[in-house]
């Protein structure tokens, strides 16, 4: 009770000093502040504000799963509240990098939000660094992450999204990289009685060994396994250099990336092997961490073709008899559903020969591009009768009306309905003639 009274007193004092209570409760993210502003504006009672918020929530529960690096060309229709999300894995030590290029409407505001997916599926919003549309986040523990992309209300356009990763440490040997690692974390040692707690990089004896991050020398010593060693303390990590031929720093020395700590050798239990550096990373509590993620650089992906932009938001349909709708752009990705021939959908984005699609019922997934065709050529003709059941869009109520009667072109189907182009050019959903009411 005392704590509650103290809290109320603090609020009252701040109010007397001119501090608004709303400022204390204001969401910290740009997305949250924008949504709060919409709800406080004259637009708060309009359905488009509610639909914009619902679009952002919906994609958090139904995400596309991709592998990094990932690059997609996509277009968001300004007239329709839309959002997209991408689920991916990243390793400790990697720095997630997100880059959004605005290719049409460069004045629009876009929201890029990154979440860590906790056990049980809970989402924890993360604070990402960087400029407006180039963001970075250093991964502190290997896990799953979710990225949400959404433009401001009534804005959109053509954009290229790139999600990748960069190394968070410089490499400990000059003119070498993670591709030169010869023995990896977790490899068996001592006949399988223990595991390798680092990586080995072979190099000529006397090659300079370098600091990978700013820190302080916390130990310089000699032991049976590691031989001549140097240990650097840097924030939540310790960097361990072993089998050195010489040690060139003293305890307490402050170092920066690129400073020489010693030279490559084969001391300790490496006496019978060629000279190499054993490099290890330990987190607080002396927990060993795989160094590979700290050094890896993602391969470059080719740029997108602007010619593909004609596909987006258009209706398309399945060409073969049966295709797999997948969670990600790979034949290794989980199958979400099987779509029959002539099933229709909208194309939302393209990446490396795959199309990200949205079904009429809002579910999303990926189809290989060669399994898809646009609905430019009608499949057949049918006559709409006054007794036919119609929908103007997938979620609208079913109705009957004689004003839509007449010839129509069938473009495809979904569920119990055909998608047709009526004589006046309007797209309608018409219940199939052999489907039950």
In tens, the pLDDT along 119-170 reads 888 999 999 888 889 999 999 887 899 999 999 999 999 999 999 999 999 9
Q: Are strands 84-90 and 64-65 parallel, antiparallel or unpaired?
A: parallel
Distance between CA 431 and CA 429 in Å, rounded? Answer: 7
What is the percent of the chain with per-residue pLDDT over 70, rounded to a whole number?
92
Whether residue 300 is contained in a domain is answered as: no
Would you say residue 366 has pLDDT above 60?
A: yes
Give the number of residues written for the chain: 437
Mean of pLDDT values over 226-243: 96
Distance between CA 248 and CA 189 in Å, rounded? Answer: 29
Q: How distant is the alpha carbon of residue 419 from its chain centre?
A: 33
> Do the beta carbons of residue 241 and residue 277 sit within 8 Å?
yes
| Tokens at 48, concatenated | 């488009």
Would you say residue 14 has pLDDT above 90?
A: no
> Do the beta carbons of residue 388 and residue 400 sit within 8 Å?
yes
Would you say residue 16 has pLDDT above 80?
A: no
User: What pLDDT shows up at residue 192?
Assistant: 63
Identify whether residues 139 and 188 lie together within a single domain: no
Would you say residue 223 has pLDDT above 70?
A: yes
User: What pLDDT shows up at residue 190?
Assistant: 64
Distance between CA 297 and CA 277 in Å, rounded? Answer: 20
Identify whether residues 160 and 107 lie together within a single domain: yes
End-to-end C-alpha distance for the chain, whole angstroms: 61
User: What pLDDT shows up at residue 11?
Assistant: 34
Domain boundary among 171, 200, 234: 171
Whether residue 370 is contained in a domain is answered as: yes
Identify whether residues 114 and 163 lie together within a single domain: yes
Mean of pLDDT values over 272-280: 96
Identify whether residues 330 and 415 lie together within a single domain: no
Could you tell me the CATH number of the domain that includes residue 119?
A: 2.60.120.380
Domain boundary among 255, 273, 295: 295
DSSP, res 299: P
What DSSP element (H or E) covers 167?
A: strand 157-167
- Count the helices and strands in the chain (H runs, E runs): 5, 34
Q: How many domains does the chain have?
A: 5
Would you say residue 1 has pLDDT above 80?
A: no
What DSSP element (H or E) covers 47?
A: helix 47-61
Q: State the burial class of residue 85 (Cβ atoms within 10 Å of its Cβ: 0-12, 13-18, 19+).
A: buried
User: What pLDDT shows up at residue 247?
Assistant: 98
Would you say residue 30 has pLDDT above 60?
A: yes
Would you say residue 21 has pLDDT above 70?
A: no
User: What pLDDT shows up at residue 304?
Assistant: 83
Distance between CA 20 and CA 83 in Å, rounded? Answer: 32
> Mean pLDDT score of the chain, rounded to an integer?
90
pTM of the complete model: 0.86
What are the phi and psi torsion angles at 350 (to 5°)? Answer: -135, 140
Distance between CA 367 and CA 354 in Å, rounded? Answer: 6
Would you say residue 7 has pLDDT above 50?
A: no
Residue 437 — pLDDT band, cuts 50, 70, 90? low
Identify whether residues 317 and 398 lie together within a single domain: no
**236-271, pLDDT tens digit by residue?**
999 999 999 999 999 999 999 999 999 999 999 999
Q: Within 13 Å of residue 314, how many CA atoms lie on the same side as its CB?
A: 15
Could you tell me the CATH number of the domain that includes residue 335?
A: 2.30.30.40
Q: What angle do CA 427, 431, 433 make, to 5 degrees?
A: 125
Q: What angle do CA 324, 325, 331 make, to 5 degrees?
A: 65
Identify whether residues 335 and 349 lie together within a single domain: yes
Residue 435 — pLDDT band, cuts 50, 70, 90? low
Identify whether residues 236 and 286 lie together within a single domain: yes
Q: Tokens 């959109």 belong to which residue?
A: 156
Would you say residue 22 has pLDDT above 70?
A: no
What is the percent of the chain with per-residue pLDDT over 90, rounded to a whole number?
78
Q: How distant is the alpha carbon of residue 425 from its chain centre?
A: 38
Q: In which domain, by residue range, is 147 found?
A: 54-171
User: What pLDDT shows up at residue 433?
Assistant: 77
Distance between CA 196 and CA 185 in Å, rounded? Answer: 5
Distance between CA 3 and CA 224 in Å, rounded? Answer: 57
Whether residue 301 is contained in a domain is answered as: no
Residue 436 — pLDDT band, cuts 50, 70, 90? low
Identify whether residues 387 and 343 lie together within a single domain: no
Would you say residue 116 has pLDDT above 60?
A: yes
Whether residue 276 is contained in a domain is answered as: yes
Would you say residue 213 has pLDDT above 90?
A: yes
Identify whether residues 229 and 131 lie together within a single domain: no
Whether residue 436 is contained in a domain is answered as: no
Domain boundary among 148, 171, 194: 171
Would you say residue 10 has pLDDT above 50?
A: no
**292-328, pLDDT tens digit by residue?**
999 999 999 998 888 888 889 889 999 999 999 999 9
Whether residue 403 is contained in a domain is answered as: yes
Beta bridge partners of 229: 221
Distance between CA 239 and CA 237 in Å, rounded? Answer: 7
**402-429, pLDDT tens digit by residue?**
988 999 999 999 999 999 999 888 899 9
Phi-psi region of 360 (alpha: psi -120 to 50; beta: other; left: phi over 0): alpha
């Amino acid at each position: 009770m005392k704590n509650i009274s103290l809290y109320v007193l603090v609020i009252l004092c701040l109010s007397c000093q001119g501090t608004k209570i709303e400022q204390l409760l204001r969401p910290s993210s740009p997305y949250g502040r924008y949504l709060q502003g919409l709800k406080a504006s004259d637009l708060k009672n309009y359905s488009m504000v509610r639909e914009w918020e619902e679009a952002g929530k919906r994609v958090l529960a139904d995400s596309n799963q991709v592998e990094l690096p990932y690059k997609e060309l996509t277009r968001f229709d300004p007239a329709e509240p839309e959002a997209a999300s991408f689920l991916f894995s990243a390793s400790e030590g990697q720095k997630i990098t997100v880059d959004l290029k605005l290719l049409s409407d460069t004045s629009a505001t876009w929201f890029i939000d990154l979440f860590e997916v906790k056990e049980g599926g809970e989402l924890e919003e993360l604070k990402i660094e960087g400029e407006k549309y180039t963001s970075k986040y250093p991964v502190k523990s290997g896990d799953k992450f979710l990225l949400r992309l959404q433009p401001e209300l009534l804005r959109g356009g053509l954009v290229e999204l790139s999600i990748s990763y960069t190394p968070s440490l410089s490499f400990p040997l000059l003119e070498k990289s993670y591709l030169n690692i010869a023995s990896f974390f977790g490899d068996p040692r001592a006949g399988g009685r223990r595991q390798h707690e680092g990586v080995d990089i072979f190099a000529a004896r006397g090659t300079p060994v370098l600091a990978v991050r700013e820190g302080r020398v916390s130990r310089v010593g000699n032991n049976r396994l590691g031989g001549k060693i140097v240990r650097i303390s840097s924030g939540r990590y310790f960097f361990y250099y072993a089998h050195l031929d010489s040690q060139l720093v003293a305890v307490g020395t402050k170092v920066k990336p690129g400073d020489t700590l010693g030279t490559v050798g084969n001391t300790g239990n490496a006496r019978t092997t060629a000279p190499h550096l054993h490099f290890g990373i330990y987190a607080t509590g002396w927990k060993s961490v795989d160094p590979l993620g700290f050094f890896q650089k993602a391969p470059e992906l080719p740029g997108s073709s602007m010619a593909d932009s004609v596909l987006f938001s258009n209706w398309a349909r399945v060409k073969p008899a049966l295709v797999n709708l997948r969670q990600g752009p790979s034949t290794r990705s989980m199958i979400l559903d099987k779509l029959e021939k002539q099933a229709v959908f909208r194309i939302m984005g393209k990446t490396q020969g795959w199309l990200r699609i949205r079904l009429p019922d809002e579910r999303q997934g990926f189809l290989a591009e060669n399994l898809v065709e646009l609905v430019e050529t009608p499949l057949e003709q049918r006559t709409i009768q006054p007794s036919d059941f119609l929908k103007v869009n997938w979620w609208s109520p079913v109705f009957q009306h004689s004003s839509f009667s007449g010839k129509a072109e069938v473009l495809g189907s979904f569920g119990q309905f055909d998608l047709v182009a009526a004589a006046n050019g309007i797209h309608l959903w018409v219940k199939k003639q052999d489907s039950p009411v």
